[in-house]
Amino acid sequence: MPPRPFQIDVPQAVLDDLRRRLERTRWPEPIPGAGWDYGARIDAVRELCDHWRDSYDWRAQEARLNAYPQFLAEVDGVDVHFWHVRGSGPQPFPLLLVHGWPGSMFEFFDLIEPLTNPAAYGGRAEDAFDVVIPALPGFGFGGKPRERGWGITRIAAAFNTLMTEELGYDRYGVQGGDWGGIVAAKMASAHAASVAGIHLNFVVAQPPAELTDADREALARRDAFQAVETGYSNVQGTKPDSLTVAQTDSPAGLAAWILEKFQVWSDCGGDPFSAYSKDALLTNLMFYWAPNSVASAARIYYEARRDPDGFRYPKVEVPTGVAVFPKEPWRAPRNWAEQRFNIVRWTEMPRGGHFAALEQPALLLDDVRAFFAGIR
């Protein structure tokens, strides 16, 4: 069955229910003077939820999202939701953009026009891409897996099927961060005949056997972060449904869980509202709330832990570009990454964090263009 045209259309009853839930939120009392060290700062979450309830216009955002062609394609029994926007240049190169958690396909929204119509955004016509932006299975408005086993290996295979069999691209590139970077790496390893190159702003790599002082410093930084900032991963990787019942029921609870990650993982000086507009943060949240995909998205952590091959593969020989944003918590040194990838471009960015496409789209855009100019 070919991909079916699709548009996002959230029932009004869902929006009315959301407003009622926000109005009736029972807020905890914070310890006086507490900031983000206890987790989500309560007053910041309330500020975001007040905006959600009183000022945020989902219908306006929905119309923006629907301005680009969207489709559903059944792949391996799950409907994959994606934007597919053709480039305007003489020979657009197909590019798959893959998000992670707690992001969404919305992260790449502001890159669609510059990637598909570069001549209008400071680029060359020959830099145009055919852009494909899927939601990870279980995320957003796509289908939800109804069986176990949707780990990284299966997602990578499904996205390769989407690109080659459903959309007819023999050769394409992949860009990703967070789970998107992990999926991109797996695709480059398992489906190298089709993947021409990958561009990552998130690299999973281990230190070498013999450590330098710089390696020890990087390892200490990573271990310190892992010790205090990865409780979310342990919960979602072991008992996700014990958590997601609450987040599915409470929009404020969902906002707290996700806003805290945007605060910690971004180059925002401690204030997420300085790096992202409230409307952008809420549109991302709506990809979890409106289609009731909180639980099915969180389960990627559970499934990935049980995928024996998801993180294990030979060195990726496909050309790899890496954009290193300074506030990316999981940034790996180049010598670590070179053990796992054929690095042909390595860019140290002046600013930005984990959600690069949403936080620093212009920097990411320039690096993606430059990398794939040598691949296409």
**Which active-site residues does the annotation give?**
178, 301, 354
Helix (H) or strand (E) holding 130: strand 129-134
282-286 long-range CB contacts below 8 Å, 24 or more apart?
Answer: 282/48, 282/51, 282/52, 282/56, 283/61, 283/65, 283/106, 284/102, 284/103, 284/104, 284/106, 284/107, 284/258, 284/358, 285/52, 285/251, 285/254, 285/255, 285/258, 286/10, 286/58, 286/61
By C-alpha distance, which of 3, 8, 4, 7 is closest to 287? Answer: 8
CA–CA distance, 261 with 244 (Å, rounded to integer): 16
For residue 351, count other CB atoms closer than 10 A to its CB: 12
Tell me the three state secondary structure of residue 240: helix
- In this structure, what are the phi and psi dihedrals at residue 68, rounded to the nearest 5 degrees? -110, 150
DSSP class of 311: S
